[in-house]
Structure 1
Amino acid sequence: MRLTNYTDYALRVLIYLTAKEKDQLSTISEIAEAYDISKNHLMKVIHELGKLGIIMTIRGRGGGIKLALPPEDINIGALVRKTEDDFKLVPCFEEGNHSCAISPICGLKHALNRALIAYLQVLDEYTLADLVVQPDRYRTLLGMNKPDL
């Protein structure tokens, strides 16, 4: 199972916001710079996270983004399910796809389906708070501890 960049970026944004000092706002630019990723891609991710009610976006001068929920209320498995659009590991997972000759008796399809379920169950065991247990170290690695000029 491979996560899309979209889900990866969503997780990175949430990790960043969790590491930030409580109630401080962040900007798309600072997150993009910290991870060296595209602002345009982040804008789409942040828009979706806002629609899902996971982050708050504050517009205008002095605006930014922050978590809308406590980190312990943001489940990683649930987030992955909301941000991934395709859990079809092989073509035969697609409804109505009968292109494989062994599909009616294939044990691989069953094994892959069990693996996917187990994968998501493990992610269900974690919250955002579980991932960011040392926020001060994240702040250092992400360049949040730079002195203001």
Structure 2
Amino acid sequence: MKINHLTPSEELLMQILWKIEHAYMKDVIEHYPEPKPHQNTISTFMKILVEKEFLSTEKEGRIFKYSVAVPFEDYKKFQLRNFLENYFDNSGTEMLKTLIDEKLLNPSELNQFFEIKTTVVPLVENAEAENPISDFIDEITSEKKKKKKGKKKKKK
């Protein structure tokens, strides 16, 4: 199923329908926030949402029962993909960086999504052997190296 964009008015109507899942026109009007548009306006939006395949209809006598055909979770994922593409060049990392920079997300909150692995490394048995100060002390306290026999330097 291909999901299309919704206008703000269509999305407002879908927000109502996602909450109640299926409804008759009178139920939708009842849940609509003030100022409520005219019944014909709501009816027109409902027809458009049926054409866009966001809603399905079932005739019961002389009236229609409208049911959600695109779940909210699917639409939310569709919107998120578009948002990433349009504003973050398809980079989830860039979006996370922005959320953290704007203090909308605390980095510690990310720990719940990642398994943290630790590696146990044994301590060095002879810690002094790799200590640069110990190396320097050994060098200055050791016996002097013998000079090589060979050409002597000329004095001027």
**Which TM class, normalised by the smaller chain length?**
0.3 to 0.5
TM-score, normalising length: structure 2: 0.39
Computing the radius of gyration over CA atoms, which structure comes out larger, 1 or 2?
2
Q: TM-score, normalised by structure 1?
A: 0.41
